């Protein structure tokens, strides 16, 4: 039997967003490689899926990858999932995939939910061409330099950050890019309290401060 590593996209908040193909692969594979055991068990138990779990994350990927590759080379199949969304997208697993390909193991993506595209299609902005910057540095001086560099790009820009840095990020954008720069804050996507805040950076900062927003988000800005 040919070894296969499936890269399986999972929901980002709403468990109904799983695809039929993803469910089939998760039920049929020999074992599942997850980011964190707690999140994976909660997710899999919702669909009544019981599988042997192995962890690959930023702390243990180097030490765990070779053992997982050896298991796959026995002719087994595995599914790689992240805590939510599409694996490898701002998530660990790149080394596992690289070595799997070098070992002639089939790597098969199972498409599904992505916070990036979900945010863009709901933003109301033109995103035929966009620049995905992703995560800014947590260090204040470096983050501000990154934002100043982004000011030179005349396109739609997508940013990610942790929930607790939303307010400071909006403050930096207002200060460095201007309060009138068009912005869309895609907040808690696919969850019950999902909301798109559309307007400019100044308006959105006011909302963040007034409502004390803290949650998962994607921020889209439109340089003009």
pLDDT value at 1 more than 70: no
Q: How far apart are CA 68 and CA 42, in angstroms?
A: 22
pLDDT confidence of residue 58 = 83
Angle value at C-alpha 56, between 19 and 42, nearest 5 degrees: 50
Please, what is the average pLDDT of the chain?
A: 93
Q: What is 4-110's CATH number?
A: 3.40.1010.10
What is the average per-residue pLDDT within 145-154?
Answer: 91
Q: What is the mean pLDDT of residues 10-18?
A: 95
Give CA–CA dist 78/7, Å, rounded: 9
Backbone angles phi, psi at 4, to 5 degrees: -140, 140
Superfamily of domain 115-222: Tetrapyrrole methylase, C-terminal domain (3.30.950.10)
Return residue ranges of the chain for CATH 3.30.950.10: 115-222
Compute the residue count for the chain.
Answer: 224
């Amino acid at each position: 039997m040919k070894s296969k590593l499936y890269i399986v996209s999972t929901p980002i908040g709403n468990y109904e967003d799983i695809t039929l193909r993803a469910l089939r692969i998760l039920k049929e594979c020999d074992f599942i490689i997850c980011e964190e055991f707690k999140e994976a068990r909660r997710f899999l138990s919702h669909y009544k899926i019981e599988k042997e779990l192995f962890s690959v994350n930023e702390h243990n990927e180097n030490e765990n990858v070779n053992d997982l590759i050896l298991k796959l080379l026995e002719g087994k199949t595995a599914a790689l999932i992240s805590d939510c969304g599409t694996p490898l997208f701002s998530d660990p697993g790149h080394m596992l995939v690289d070595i799997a390909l070098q070992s002639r193991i089939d790597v098969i993506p199972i498409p599904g939910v992505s916070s990036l595209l979900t945010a863009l299609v709901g933003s109301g902005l033109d995103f035929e061409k966009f620049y995905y910057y992703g995560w800014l540095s947590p260090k204040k001086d470096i983050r501000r330099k990154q934002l100043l560099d982004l000011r030179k790009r005349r396109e739609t820009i997508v940013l990610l950050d942790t929930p607790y840095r939303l307010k400071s990020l909006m403050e930096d954008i207002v200060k460095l890019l201007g309060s009138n720069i068009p912005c869309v804050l895609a907040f808690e996507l696919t969850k019950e309290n999902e909301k798109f805040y559309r307007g400019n950076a100044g308006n959105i900062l006011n909302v963040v401060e007034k409502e004390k927003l803290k949650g998962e988000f994607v921020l889209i800005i439109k340089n003009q």
